[in-house]
Structure 1
Amino acid sequence: MQSPSIVAPTLGQHWQWQGQSIYYVKAGERRPDRPPLLLVHGFGASTDHWRKNLAGLSSEFDVWAIDLLGFGRSAKPDWRYSGDLWRDQLHDFITQVMGQPAVLAGNSLGGYTSLCTAAQRSESVAGLVLINSAGPFSDPEPIPPPNPLREVMGKTIQTLFQQDWASSLLFQYVRQKSTIRKTLERVYLDQSAITDELVDAIYRPSCDHGAAKVFASVFRTPQGEKVDTLLKQLSCPLLMIWGEADPWMNSRERGAKFRQHYAQLTEYYLRAGHCPHDEVPDQVNELIGTWILKHC
């Protein structure tokens, strides 16, 4: 597969969905012997986060990437955002634009959204690749010792950020380029992968009209369907790729939970943080390509 070390820009297109403009990019040619691949970004990211994977996989696959509604170059209406909304967006995009079942590959929030689609709109999904996937399990978390102050403060903070002014202040803080860079430095193991181009790609959509309200909606939305419930509904092949240095989740423990509920999955652990597709793209591209040819 092509090395993504030098990545040419990919010209995108727009698709109208429920009266809103959805941005997507496409690379490679359709191959009759293998399904197309649709890449789905995480929270705050966009199709730009897949630039190395689009370049690396396009020599052998028909590869697409999409900006979820509310992110990237897609529209940012004042709607209620949830996994169900993005599930229906992905399903409609696959059926209306791609024209045949696709392998979905998602990182973080994009992984959870892809899982929702594969489990609940199975007719549009030929296979599923989850990369440090987000989403809640039903298993109860360990109960910490009683702490009345923490309990009261927790409820106070939760109530506070239901207020528009408070969520707006938080949004203005997290969208600063310096904050974006610091966050990336925490979640990337390979600091050299944190470029000005990457910071700008995350910052740019935050300047769009409606971005603050999208942030507030996602921040306030209750947790969606539990991952274990979705895995019970899943029937397609599943590949799990984990950056084992992810500070936001214990990848080994989380991987064990996925295996507990979907034993037939394939999994790999890589020396990377939360976004291994951007940190170690050559490894991720090779794993995805080989797995698709074998299982899909």
Structure 2
Amino acid sequence: MSTAFAPQSISPSQGTYWYWRDQAIHYVVAGAAQDDRPPLLLVHGFGASTDHWRKNIQGLQSDFQVWAIDLLGFGRSAKPDWQYSGDLWQAQLHEFITEVIGRPVVLAGNSLGGYASLCVAANHPESAAGLVLLNSAGPFSTPAQTPPTPPNPIAKTIQSIMLQPLPSWLLFQYVRQPATIRRTLKQVYLDQSAITDQLVEDIRRPALDPGAPRVFASVFKSRQGEKVDVLLQKLSCPLLMLWGEGDPWMNCRQKGKQFRQYYPSLTEHYLQAGHCPHDEVPDQVNSLLRDWVLSTVQPNESR
């Protein structure tokens, strides 16, 4: 049975644990619950943790009760040898909202956390008062008239090799080195001054946990979840999209166009930032998120 300790106002480095499916799930909560507005639930991306939301928790806790959670396999949460997928994290988030928070939330997710948050909002509308996506991951369906891409034999060979335990483990040893983490961050942050020693350490520390290599390897094995367009056609809550348009991993303008096609009522803003705008330009993100929730998410949607 899932259990939780009583919530308290704490910093991201001092968390609380909730036991879900016999696994320890780390979360933090700051700020007081308010009847006239929903709480926020912040969901990190791949390889990140609650620490990545430190600036947002600090900036938003005077206006909202702010929760942040480490997805199973990341941060200070347990890292069992399971098959990781969007379905698993969707279940984790929905049950956390139901059992621990106890009322609908505004989910705010970055990258992988954005996709997991979209899954919750689309499939469990009773849990979501609103949804904020920051450079969200997840594929759209390929149009039926688009000819299939011919298989790339080199890519297929690499994927086959990476499914083997030893090559996957060796690659993980490389990617979790501080110098490698810093190089990757330099590719995805426009403002290089935001790449601090603390940020590098926050990403590296969970990667040293014994189960971390297995989580990394599972990425190559997990099946794709529901397509983003399918999820958007089920979505009913307000949607805010915040794009760091300097993201080298996705064409934000093109992806934004796809989101608008399936959910034209969304609100969106393009920011001068990379893949993680909440950490790179936190003041802008906090201001846009705060104003949107207070003006768009009705009080009766948060009850």
Deviations 1:153-191 (A, max 9, x none): 121111111111111111111111110000000000000
CA distance in 2, matches of 1:100, 1:164: 42
1:208 aligns with 2:223: no
CA distance in 2, matches of 1:31, 1:278: 25
CA distance in 2, matches of 1:9, 1:220: 31
Contact 1:10–1:26 under 8 Å retained in 2:
no
Report % sequence identity: 67
Look up the equivalent residue of 2:48 and give its one-letter code. A
Deviations 1:129-150 (A, max 9, x none): 000000010025977997xxx8
2:68 pairs, out of 65, 70, 74, with 65
Alignment of structure 1 residues 55-204 onto 2, 5 Å: 55-139=58-142, 151-204=152-205
CA distance in 2, matches of 1:70, 1:171: 14
Look up the equivalent residue of 2:193 and give its one-letter code. S
| Corresponding position of 1:237 | 238
Contact 2:13–2:51 under 8 Å retained in 1:
no
| Corresponding position of 1:292 | 293
Aligned length: 287
Deviations 1:182-225 (A, max 9, x none): 00000000000000000000000011111100111123212111
CA distance in 2, matches of 1:223, 1:188: 27
Contact 1:243–1:271 under 8 Å retained in 2:
yes
From the superposition, tell whether residues 143 and 183 of structure 1 become closer, same or farther in structure 2 (CA, over 3 Å): farther
Structure 2, unmatched stretches of 5+, are 1-9, 298-303
1:25 aligns with 2:28: yes
Shift of residue 288 of structure 1? 0.5
Shift of residue 11 of structure 1? 2.4
Report the TM-score when normalising by structure 2. Answer: 0.92
CA distance in 1, matches of 2:49, 2:147: 36
CA distance in 1, matches of 2:13, 2:34: 20
2:62 partner SS:
coil
Shift of residue 227 of structure 1? 0.2
Contact 2:133–2:240 under 8 Å retained in 1:
yes
CA distance in 2, matches of 1:231, 1:153: 34
From the superposition, tell whether residues 180 and 142 of structure 1 become closer, same or farther in structure 2 (CA, over 3 Å): farther
From the superposition, tell whether residues 85 and 9 of structure 1 become closer, same or farther in structure 2 (CA, over 3 Å): closer
CA distance in 2, matches of 1:87, 1:128: 14
Shift of residue 151 of structure 1? 2.2
2:219 partner SS:
helix
Contact 1:10–1:27 under 8 Å retained in 2:
no
CA distance in 1, matches of 2:174, 2:12: 29
Structure 1, unmatched stretches of 5+, are 1-6
Contact 2:40–2:67 under 8 Å retained in 1:
yes
Which consecutive aligned stretches of 4+ in structure 1 deviate over 3 angstroms post-superposition? 7-10, 140-146
| Corresponding position of 2:222 | 221
From the superposition, tell whether residues 9 and 83 of structure 1 become closer, same or farther in structure 2 (CA, over 3 Å): closer
